[in-house]
Chain A
Amino acid sequence: MRQAVVYTETIIHSAPEAFAADAPYQIALVEFADGQRQLVRILGTHVHIGDTVLEADASPEQTYPLFTRKPQ
């Protein structure tokens, strides 16, 4: 299960047409241990800069990267 740290984030209220039903939802730019960054969707509890997140669903059906806050 991939783990990363939140580099920055935002909660989207005004969504594009394709995601309007999901709003509000959070996306975050997360950083992996090797320094690579990726834009991901956050599932569940809102996260802040510095929080650790875990990949929530790595199945092939998941069309975008989905992460959730790591329980402390």
Chain B
Amino acid sequence: MRTVYVAGYGKTAFGAFADRDLVRLAQEAIAGALANASLSPEVVEALYLGNFDGPRFTSQNHLAPLVAQAAGLPDIPATRFEAACASGGSALVHAAMSVASGVYETVLVCGVEKMTSQTTAKVAEILAGAGDAQRESAVGATFPAIFAMVARRHMHEYGTTREHLAAVAVKNHANAAKNPQAHLKKLITLEQALAGKPVAEPFTIYDCSLVSDGAAAVVLSSRPSALRLAGWGQASGPVALADRTSITQFPATQKAAAKAYAMAQCGAPDIDLAEVHDCFTVAELIALEDLGFIPAGQSGPWVASGATEIDGALPVNTSGGLKAKGHPVGATGVAQICDLAQQMLGHAGERQVSRTRRGLAQNLGGSGATSVVTILERD
């Protein structure tokens, strides 16, 4: 298998952009990534597009060729990947395999979602489509509700507190406040996070990621450059919460991580920084446990101690995470790679961390039905 390099990355800011549609956002991210790689569109041999639900958010299907044409790519294979919130990660893994296998020299991965043109209730309904339609959505479950039930169980089993959950939100807001491309650049206090408007108990709005518009793109190439995809893994599990033995861990993440660590020939202690899928505060805590950074049940006190802040032992979500950077669903898995690349190439400004040899990204779909783990390495 050939080594796969990240030749360039680019993304739009995340936010609510009434003036830009889905195709325009994707086009901007792709142009940014190609410029960053100093490559012209003609050299791209395939487009892998991560998108969760453009058809329902924007009433447009067949998005990949639409994006490819708008971005000036030649008449190449262009395919959309859907894996709920892991759509971007799934597109990335399949793109990486196409370069590793020797089929292509240069491919583009783009993730995009346009969400803010819908009402909050409609967004909740569309996002609920990532769960089990018959057995969850039909009962009135929302996505925050699914993760709220996971949080309740984590609190019951391990003594995790609402303060531990809130610590994730406070940290990620602090990081996003220093990220010019973040959706929300607003510091919050622990008290504010706890007193927020209830969404699905025990969650307040501060436990939930944002509804955002945005796109991210990376160019993958077989030609050597500073950053390489040292390892990746994708795994799946039951869609419905009712079918899990345990709901306080996501085996898909554990399995994807095991594959990625094995491929990169490293382990959790070798990771210098991570971007993890904090769609809800509890998801960041469980990710830290599933990825092997901290034993099961101990993530709450660990995060509350400051260990995952920018100057901590393991900086996590220095971008601000889905919580405050924003979560345009299909863009997220690709944006995480852009965020790691920015840190590892020393372009993170006042958020810059010092140790950046190995970065890990974890992208979760649904309540753990798909998980993608990627490890980036530089010399």
Residues of A within 8 A of B (CB): 7-20, 22, 24-25, 27-29, 36-41, 49, 63-65
Given A17-B122, A29-B242, the answer on whether A65 and B128 have CB atoms closer than 8 Å is: no
Partner of B139 from A20, A24, A37, A65 at Cβ < 8 Å: A65
Distance in angstroms between the alpha carbons of A49 and B248 in the assembled complex: 14
Instruction: Enumerate chain A residues within 8 angstroms of B200, measured Cβ to Cβ.
Output: 10-14
Assess the A29–B201 pair: CB atoms within 8 A: no
Distance in angstroms between the alpha carbons of A10 and B143 in the assembled complex: 12
Given A27-B140, A27-B141, A41-B139, the answer on whether A17 and B124 have CB atoms closer than 8 Å is: yes
Instruction: Enumerate chain B residues within 8 angstroms of A38, measured Cβ to Cβ.
Output: 135, 242
Q: How many residues of B contact A (CB 8 A)?
A: 35
Residue of B at shortest CB range from A38? Answer: B242
Distance in angstroms between the alpha carbons of A29 and B147 in the assembled complex: 12
Instruction: Enumerate chain B residues within 8 angstroms of A17, measured Cβ to Cβ.
Output: 119, 121-122, 124-125
Residue of B at shortest CB range from A35? Answer: B245
Assess the A8–B149 pair: CB atoms within 8 A: yes
Residues of B within 8 A of A (CB): 119-122, 124-125, 128, 135-142, 144-145, 148-150, 152-153, 156, 197-203, 240-243, 247
Assess the A16–B150 pair: CB atoms within 8 A: no
Assess the A49–B124 pair: CB atoms within 8 A: no
Assess the A16–B121 pair: CB atoms within 8 A: yes
Partner of A13 from B128, B199, B243 at Cβ < 8 Å: B199
Assess the A41–B140 pair: CB atoms within 8 A: yes
Instruction: Enumerate chain A residues within 8 angstroms of B128, measured Cβ to Cβ.
Output: 16
Q: List 15 A-B contacts (CB under 8 A).
A: A7-B153, A8-B156, A9-B149, A10-B148, A13-B197, A17-B122, A17-B124, A25-B140, A27-B139, A27-B141, A29-B149, A29-B241, A39-B242, A49-B153, A63-B138
Instruction: Enumerate chain A residues within 8 angstroms of B198, measured Cβ to Cβ.
Output: 11, 13, 24
